[in-house]
Amino acid sequence: MLSSFPTFLPFILFAFVASITPGPTNILVLSNSARYGLAAAVPIIFGACASAATIVLLVGTGAGSSLNALCSPDLHPSAFIAS
């Protein structure tokens, strides 16, 4: 447990800051819960949690590397950077 603490602490700090930052999802949840009540905001909260978990799962499994391997060299983002 203690050996993974140096990597766990930044994750916890990022998760806390991301949860209180007024991004589009937080504003949507706030406005819907203020207008229609908590029951109307619960599906949005579950959808936001599921989508964030899906993104973390895809990044963790290496989907970005797979997509980079499938791209042709002329479509790679570095081809659009002027040198």
DSSP class per residue in 48-78: HHHHHHHHHHHHHHTHHHHHHHHS-GGGSGG
pLDDT at 75: 62
Which of 18, 55, 25 is closest to 43 using CA atoms? Answer: 25
Query: Which residue is it, tokens 């819907």?
Result: 32
Which residues in the chain land under pLDDT 50?
Answer: none
pLDDT at 46: 95
